[in-house]
Amino acid sequence: MEFKTELSRLLNEFLETRPDLFLVDLKISAASDVTVILDGDNGVTLQDCLDASRAIEFNMDREIHDFSLQVMSSGLSEPLEYPRQFRKNIGREIEVMLSDSSEVEGELLSVDDEKIVLRLEYRRPKLVGKGKEDVVEEREIPYADIKKALVVIKF
């Protein structure tokens, strides 16, 4: 069986036993360096990474294909890509770069299979008179319009 196919099969078998975890990315370099990036509805622990690594390593024959394996969690600096990743970040501030290259930042209010909803707070010039006014609005953003989305880290 082809290396990538076997690797994917073992990883999927592991993920079937852990429905709270999901695959974000699987990378295999030309030198057979394998990187598995996982995320979870409740985060990913070190033990989760070890379990995934063991599920692959203990079932692959290194005599047939030698490889190095790295299993890691999707970090805060990684972009959000899947509805499950957005869903677990409801209530947090996120920054979204749209496909038209504009950016919006706001609190993630809700997520479904087609879009996210952000609560935006900003100041704009008054529509009547001088000065500025505070504006709070909800904005729906379809996934198709999202180029990149990151959780805003506040200290």
Q: What are the pLDDT digits (tens) for 84-100?
A: 999 999 999 999 999 99
Percentage with pLDDT > 70 across the chain: 99
CA–CA gap between residue 94 and residue 91 (Å, rounded): 9
The alpha carbon of residue 5 and the mean position of all alpha carbons in its chain are separated, in whole angstroms, by: 23
Classify residue 19 as exposed, middle or buried by CB count within 10 Å of its CB (0-12, 13-18, 19+).
exposed
pLDDT single digits (tens) 6-39: 999 999 999 999 999 999 999 999 998 999 999 9
The answer to whether residue 1 scores a pLDDT higher than 80 is no
- Average pLDDT of the segment spanning 112-134: 91
pLDDT of residue 108: 97
Range from 49-53, 142-146, 150-154 carrying the lowest mean pLDDT: 150-154
Of residues 1 and 13, more confidently modeled: 13
Confidence of residue 62 (pLDDT cuts 50, 70, 90): confident
pLDDT at residue 131 above 70? yes
4 vs 10: CA distance, rounded Å: 10
